[in-house]
Structure 1
Amino acid sequence: MKKTGAFCRSLLHPRYWFTWLGLGILWLLVQLPYPVLMRLGANAGTLSRHFLKRRERITRRNIELCFPGIAESEIERMIAGNFASLGMALAETGIAWFWSDRAVKKLFEVSGMHHLQSAMKQKRGVMVIGVHFMSLELGGRISGLCQPMMAMYRPHNNRAMEWAQTKGRMRSNKAMIDRRDLRGMVHALKKGESVWFAPDQDYGPKGSVFAPLFAVEKAATTNGTFVLSRLANPAMLTIALIRNPDNYGYQLIIDPELENYPHSDEAAAAAYMNKVIESQILRAPEQYLWLHRRFKTRPPGEASLYV
């Protein structure tokens, strides 16, 4: 379990100068008015598509796999929206890390806060299920402003970036938990904490089972939610930050506690959770992180879906 550590002189080593330069530019960028930031971000994301051809292919393939039979014009619309969203996500990261609470609070509305409050009253911990929308960093900041919580994450390999992202994420939350730290997550949940957990990515074959996701019959799905539910018995609900259709402001949507989760069947639990993930993605498909190779892990003997 990690909180922001003290800044140390070793982070000023020349190997980190480009990192600090980039963070400085991001800080300067987010001094601009919000509407200007969103326009610049969308334009930058659209432009990046010309340079991120591999990511464009992955995005297209993921959409084709999940939604077979949709028109080429609809695929193109989703890809274009996804790359525009990618650019806006950079600006949103700067907002999440550098803006004041007062400024951030002007950007969003909340629906379903009573669902989280009701779950917390049970005193058995709350597993907050999230998915990787592009606005994820800002979603963490906003969620913490409503209810400070802990979150699972993957530590950054760059020590300067790790310090900066942890400091930014801790502006409104309690602690970050390494996604490999099962004991830490169980301990936090048993203490009655709310812990954000994202089971929507392909984390490799270890600790995964294959379950349907959209039209893909065998998607490697982490068994983390199943294991945590068995060990800590938390309440479980979903939370998502969705960018408004006009790209101005956000809706933080908290759904009721999940019901009828199959606590005794790992395969059924994975299929159940993927249905939950599908319903979240369909709130705003163009804002989802399709650039990730979601289906890279295949059952033994099956060919890659990205050839």
Structure 2
Amino acid sequence: MGPVHTPPLTIAYLHPKYWPLWIGQALLWLLVQLPYGWQMRLGKALGRFSMRLQPRRVAIAQRNLQLAMPELDEPARAVLLRQNFESVGCAIFETGMAWFWSDQRMRKFMQVEGEEHLRAALAGGHGILLLSCHFLTLELNARMFGLLQAGVGVYRPNDNPVLEFAQVRGRTRSNKYLLDRRDVKGMIKALRQGEALWYAPDHDYGRHASVFVPFFAVQDSATITGTATLARVKGVRVMPCYTLRLPEHAGYRLVLEAPLANFPTGDDIADATLSNQVIERAIRQAPEQYMWLHRRFKTQPDKQSPSRY
């Protein structure tokens, strides 16, 4: 393992079996040349239509909302579910924006909150662990942060070489390189070198290196302890970082919060609980923009417990 840069484009990528992927990328490039408002309207329509095509994903998102926010009544959750799928549709266009828009156009739709926290950490020569989560705007989050300070991304490599080429090229448009999410040594090295490292510990990654702590209303959510592990690197500042889509087609707000104080504590339960609280607070600002489509609460303390899904 090690730093992942854009792989070289070879003749093998032009094999006919990859043509649909290249055509899809070309179509996405064309679509994101449209006025921004048009893209969002098309994205919402596409998201609503996708609910008919993905009943399994609809069921997962619906169940997640029931588990996470039982205080909402059924009509309120139904509205949130529809808005969430509208955001899924918008995310397709937002991926194209992140991968294909010029820096000038990106900055036009970008607002920054808390840049002073980033500048203070960089001035002190600190490595920065960007504590983030899987908002549907995550591709824009990486691109916009890179316009402030080129950083390092953590990702899951794609087995398809054309898709891998596209995502690495897109995600390094304004950042340095990517690291495989299993490359903990590479992450530690980057932080020791004073890099800003994007890290999202909010998915359910199973029992390995996880503890069971509250997340929303679920009191025993499997949560990886990697945030605290990386935060133990000397001098690292843990800085919440996320991007929210603004209403009325006003663009996006990149949020950089003050670094967490007294973190890590050395107690995995306390540290994972705090990181979940930070992430939950961010999500509650725009719950419709979060990736509720994955089975966040699938792993339970008792292996014999019936599935929540």
Q: TM-score, normalised by structure 1?
A: 0.97
State whether residues 151 and 176 of structure 1, in contact with CA within 8 Å, keep that contact through their aligned partners in structure 2.
yes
Shift of 1:70: 1.3
Shift of 1:234: 1.0
Give the Cα separation in 2 of the matches to 1:262 and 1:223: 10
For 1:56, the equivalent position in structure 2 comes to 58
Structure 1 runs (4+) greater than 3 angstroms displaced: none
For 1:182, the equivalent position in structure 2 comes to 184
Alignment size in residue pairs: 306
Shift of 1:270: 0.9
Shift of 1:176: 0.6
Mapping 1:82-121, distance limit 5 Å = 82-121=84-123
Q: 1:180 to 1:127 in 2, by over 3 A?
A: same
For 1:256, the equivalent position in structure 2 comes to 258
Give the Cα separation in 2 of the matches to 1:224 and 1:111: 26
For 1:303, the equivalent position in structure 2 comes to 306
Give the Cα separation in 2 of the matches to 1:32 and 1:59: 30
1:271-296 CA distance string (max 9 Å, x none): 11111111111110010000111011
Give the Cα separation in 1 of the matches to 2:14 and 2:206: 34
Shift of 1:263: 3.0
For 1:276, the equivalent position in structure 2 comes to 278
Equivalent residue letter for 1:143: F
Report percent identity of matched pairs.
Answer: 44
2:294 pairs with 273, 286, 292, which one?
292
For 2:173, the equivalent position in structure 1 comes to 171
For 2:5, the equivalent position in structure 1 comes to 3
2:218 pairs with 192, 216, 230, which one?
216
For 1:244, the equivalent position in structure 2 comes to 246
Mapping 1:90-169, distance limit 5 Å = 90-169=92-171
Give the Cα separation in 1 of the matches to 2:12 and 2:271: 45
For 2:14, the equivalent position in structure 1 comes to 12
CA RMSD of aligned residues (A): 1.2
Give the Cα separation in 2 of the matches to 1:232 and 1:202: 27
Q: 1:259 to 1:60 in 2, by over 3 A?
A: same
Shift of 1:214: 1.0
Which structure 2 residue ranges, 5 or more long, are not aligned?
A: none
Equivalent residue letter for 1:176: L
Give the Cα separation in 2 of the matches to 1:231 and 1:263: 13
SS in 2 for 1:50: helix
Give the Cα separation in 1 of the matches to 2:197 and 2:114: 17
Give the Cα separation in 2 of the matches to 1:124 and 1:146: 16
